[in-house]
Amino acid sequence: MDRFRAAPRHDALTTDQGVRVDDTDNALRAGHRGPTLLEDFHNREKITHFDHERIPERVVHARGAGAYGYFEPYASLSEYTCADFLAEAGRRTPVFVRFSTVQGPRGSADTVRDVRGFATKFYTREGNYDLVGNNMPVFFIQDAIKFPDFVHAVKMEPQNEMPTGASAHDTFWDFCSLQPESTHMLMWLMSDRAIPRSFRMMQGFGVHTFRFVTADGRGTFVKFHWKPALGVHSLVWDEAQIAAGRDPDFNRRDLWEAIEAGAYPEWELGVQLVPEEDEFAFDFDLLDATKIIPEEQVPVRPVGRLVLDRNPQNFFAETEQVAFHTANVVPGIDFTNDPLLQGRNFSYLDTQLIRLGGPNFSQLPVNRPIADVHHNHRDGFGQQVIHPGTNYFPNSLGGGCPAHAGAGGGAGVFRHYAERVDGDKIRVRSESFKDHYSQAALFWNSMADWERRHIVEAFRFELGKVNAVEVRERMTGNLAHVSQDLAAEVAEGLGLPAPAPVGGVTSAASPALSQENLAGEGIRTRKVAVLAADGTDAGQVTAVRDRLTARGAIVEVLAARAGTVQGAGGEPLDVDRALPTMGSVLYDAVLVPDGARAVSALAADPAAVRFVEEAYRHGKPLAVLGEGTRLLTAARLPEDTVLGESAPDYGVFTGNGTAPAEDLADAFADAVGQHRFPHR
Ligand code: HDD
């Protein structure tokens, strides 16, 4: 893309026509205090261009953040697919990935409860392949014809454009309560998956069943999975809401800063493969996007890794103008008859035509394939190419070019999988799509206790924001098909009677679905706040910081003011951030060092007290040395869990000053690696 990058040197300012301009601060006018003149072409051009800077935002997934990187397979997958980019271990394919929320507009907050988009463009040698997935493996609806209804219901309500970035409102729950096929997805949406700690710490899924196809036309069903190297981690709901105010760019900033710091986010691509002959071997339909294939039934085979190592230079040119499309496939990857996928294959090209202003958006730098492009498409808004010669096929005057590729059966040519299709023209949903509850129950059954608690609380919150009582009732009635406990607990929170039990609820579970089993290892890029003031034991700070940063964590010293504080021995300690500009929600853990004078100052500062109280409430590890425990008392934390013998079980580490700070630092670091202590 380098040839498309504007490289500002010390060039003079010019107009669009390349005419040099000597003043862009004062419009041309008649006399010192006279009227502005129409003749000022630079002024008119500048304002006109500005007036047209905005383009329509995406109708869904408007808010996002993207980055470049590469994908490389671990081994050849040519046994299953002829896709060139999967054919050889280590063959690097450049990628652009865009993460997004779904409901909110471009300016909405990152940490809302929502599905996250996870869209990857592979610039392969055989053309662009887009895997346009989400961080949840299922979807709200089974047939794309319902998508406009679903999106109308979840988006801000039409009369007042509220709420921004939230599904907690009447129309969404009205729709879902009448559309039981959404129940499985609702379980995911009410779980902590909907409030990821970081884009770098969430899974991705292709959702649909796709098809791998070999060079000789053999098909294998495939589901795609992205697994983050840093483990799967989430915020807690109260934290997410506070973070939305403290830093609306929380996830975007996290991605940007990690890449700038060289801590490149990484995911492993996994595939679930199902032979064509096993199409009907499951008690659900592979074509139904509201279903997963439980990993215990078909294991996820790791096949390669994705690394993001470069931030865009211009958000608009790259992240905003990137255009994904489920129908951008390459030889070796094909569709199935999943009715959601079939509809998507229409929608993405259609939406780009209006969003990007015409049919030539694939010529934008971020969308250009690295493979050569030859065709007879011509003209249109924004045409960048000067096409000489003929523009039709067949032709003799243009030497027959461009000719059909691979007429002789060559490699690298897209050939549709030759699936036999036979049927009446009907508008009906297949009977095999009718079970809407078994997998919702499977998800619920697979959750740890704390995950279930969060799901109940999320349903209570969301339905509690719904004004129509009949919608609340209908929804809790649906939940009884998932779990009587769930339905009863949600109903209780809403002040409703428990719905009548229904039979036939499955007790099956899939451990692979619980975040408890997806934590990963290590503390790389985890952020630890050190609360300091004049009199802080600076030696301790250094000792603990060295231990944590050696394991990849980021440690920041916070004090009432920026600059430095004076350590207990009079030595200066640099302050990274002023406490009033931050909040505990922007960190993963908190350290309060020893130092009587410092702790007295912190205990008298409501911002510091709140910092500790909030971090505790959000389940974050706390390390508190010597006098620092007085801050815990000032925050009125329950003494038995923070100062008792079992405090470490609750992620609270207190040092009495005799044990070396390094010992405590190690236990604290392990706790940071555990992420949260939700049982507090
Ligand atoms: Fe979609 C954008 C993911 C169903 C129609 N979708 C969009 C993006 C993601 C997804 C990640 C943002 C891409 C980007 O970053 O630019 N969508 C999904 C998934 C779905 C899904 C995982 C279900 C499995 N989508 C879906 C359906 C339809 C659409 C059923 C239409 C019938 N989606 C669109 C769209 C968008 C879009 C209107 C808006 C902006 C865009 O495409 O480029 O065409």
Residue bearing tokens 């988009």: 117
Residue 656 has pLDDT above 80, yes or no: no
418 lies in some domain = no
Residue 649 has pLDDT above 80, yes or no: yes
**What's the pLDDT at 241?**
98
- Ligand 1 atom at minimum distance from 134 CA: 22
> DSSP string spanning 297-313?
TSPPEEEEEEEEEE--S
**What's the pLDDT at 406?**
77
**What's the pLDDT at 641?**
84
Model pLDDT for residues 548-596, shown as the tens digit of each residue: 999 999 999 999 999 999 999 999 999 999 999 999 999 999 999 999 9
**What's the pLDDT at 671?**
95
User: Rounded distance, CA 625 to CA 540, Å?
Assistant: 9
Q: Which of 311, 346, 367 is the last residue of a domain?
A: 367
- Domain residue limits at 643: 527-673
Q: Within 13 A of 372's CA, how many CA atoms are on the CB side?
A: 6
- In the structure, what pLDDT confidence band is assigned to residue 657 with cuts at 50, 70 and 90? low
Helix (H) or strand (E) holding 65: strand 64-73
β pairing state of 652-655 and 622-625:
parallel
Model pLDDT for residues 221-244, shown as the tens digit of each residue: 999 999 999 999 999 999 999 999
**What's the pLDDT at 408?**
57
Residue 646 has pLDDT above 90, yes or no: no
Please give the C-alpha separations between residue 26 and each of 43, 354, 671, in angstroms, as whole numbers: 9, 36, 60
**What's the pLDDT at 136?**
98
User: Rounded distance, CA 209 to CA 623, Å?
Assistant: 46
CB of 138 closer than 6 angstroms to any ligand 1 atom: no
The pLDDT of 280-306, averaged and rounded, is: 98
61 dihedral zone (left: phi>0; alpha: psi -120 to 50; beta): left
Question: In sequence order, what are the beta bridge partners of 133?
Answer: 118
Please give the C-alpha separations between residue 467 and each of 113, 170, 487, in angstroms, as whole numbers: 19, 6, 19
CATH for 568:
3.40.50.880
CB of 122 closer than 6 angstroms to any ligand 1 atom: no
Model pLDDT for residues 17-30, shown as the tens digit of each residue: 999 999 999 999 99
CB of 124 closer than 6 angstroms to any ligand 1 atom: no
18 lies in some domain = no
**What's the pLDDT at 642?**
86
Q: Which of 367, 383, 410 is the last residue of a domain?
A: 367
SS3 sequence, 7-46? CCCCCCCECCCCCECCCCCCCCECCCCCCECCCCHHHHHH
CB of 98 closer than 6 angstroms to any ligand 1 atom: yes
51 lies in some domain = no
CB of 139 closer than 6 angstroms to any ligand 1 atom: yes
Among 492, 143, 152, residue whose Cα is nearest residue 342: 143
460 lies in some domain = no
> DSSP string spanning 519-573?
--S--TT-EEEEE--TT--HHHHHHHHHHHHHTT-EEEEEESSSEEEE-TTS-EE
The pLDDT of 601-613, averaged and rounded, is: 98
Residue 410 has pLDDT above 80, yes or no: no
Residue 302 has pLDDT above 90, yes or no: yes
Amino acid (1-letter code) at residue 517:
N
**What residues contact residue 233 under an 8 Å CB cut-off, 6+ apart?**
196, 197, 198, 201, 515, 519, 675, 676
Model pLDDT for residues 451-479, shown as the tens digit of each residue: 999 999 999 999 999 999 999 999 999 99
Lookup: tokens for 583:
């909040």
β pairing state of 93-101 and 116-124:
antiparallel
**CA torsion angle 76 77 82 83 (round to 10):** -80
Q: Within 13 A of 652's CA, how many CA atoms are on the CB side?
A: 26
CATH for 151:
2.40.180.10
Task: Confirm or deny that 58 is annotated as ligand binding.
Answer: yes
Instruction: Give me ligand 1 centre to Cα 347, in Å.
Output: 8
Question: In sequence order, what are the beta bridge partners of 97?
Answer: 67, 120
**What's the pLDDT at 662?**
81
User: Rounded distance, CA 287 to CA 467, Å?
Assistant: 36
The complex scores an ipTM of: 0.99
Mean pLDDT of the chain: 96
φ, ψ (nearest 5 deg) of residue 635: -85, 0
Among 306, 254, 321, 296, residue whose Cα is nearest residue 111: 254
**What residues contact residue 146 under an 8 Å CB cut-off, 6+ apart?**
179
User: Rounded distance, CA 198 to CA 680, Å?
Assistant: 23
User: Rounded distance, CA 225 to CA 447, Å?
Assistant: 20
Q: Is 223 helix (H, G, I), strand (E, B) or coil?
A: strand
β pairing state of 204-205 and 219-228:
antiparallel
Counting ligand 1 atoms within 8 A of each CB, the residue from 57, 58, 115, 292 with the most, and so the one to mutate, is 58
Residue 654 has pLDDT above 60, yes or no: yes
Least confident of 73-87, 112-126, 482-496, 632-646: 632-646
Residue 373 has pLDDT above 70, yes or no: yes
Residue 572 preceded by cis peptide, ω within 30: no
Residue 538 near residue 557, CB atoms below 8 Å: no
Residue 275 near residue 218, CB atoms below 8 Å: no
440 lies in some domain = no
Q: Which of 344, 367, 390 is the last residue of a domain?
A: 367
Question: In sequence order, what are the beta bridge partners of 82?
Answer: none
490 lies in some domain = no
User: Rounded distance, CA 115 to CA 474, Å?
Assistant: 23
Instruction: Give me ligand 1 centre to Cα 428, in Å.
Output: 24
Residue 496 near residue 468, CB atoms below 8 Å: no
User: Rounded distance, CA 21 to CA 47, Å?
Assistant: 15
Which burial class, exposed, middle or buried, applies to 463 when counting CB atoms under 10 A from its CB (0-12, 13-18, 19+)?
A: buried
Report the Cα 592 to chain-centroid distance in Å: 32
Residue 645 has pLDDT above 90, yes or no: no
The pLDDT of 360-384, averaged and rounded, is: 97
Residue 7 has pLDDT above 90, yes or no: no
Residue 294 has pLDDT above 80, yes or no: yes
Q: What is the largest CA-CA distance in the chain?
A: 90
571 lies in some domain = yes
Q: State the total domains in the chain.
A: 2
Task: Confirm or deny that 348 is annotated as ligand binding.
Answer: yes
The pLDDT of 470-496, averaged and rounded, is: 98
User: Rounded distance, CA 642 to CA 431, Å?
Assistant: 55
**What's the pLDDT at 56?**
97
- In the structure, what pLDDT confidence band is assigned to residue 409 with cuts at 50, 70 and 90? low
Catalytic residues, by residue number, are 61, 134
Instruction: Give me ligand 1 centre to Cα 34, in Å.
Output: 53
609 lies in some domain = yes
- In the structure, what pLDDT confidence band is assigned to residue 640 with cuts at 50, 70 and 90? confident
φ, ψ (nearest 5 deg) of residue 97: -120, 135
User: Rounded distance, CA 297 to CA 206, Å?
Assistant: 18
- Ligand 1 atom at minimum distance from 59 CA: 39
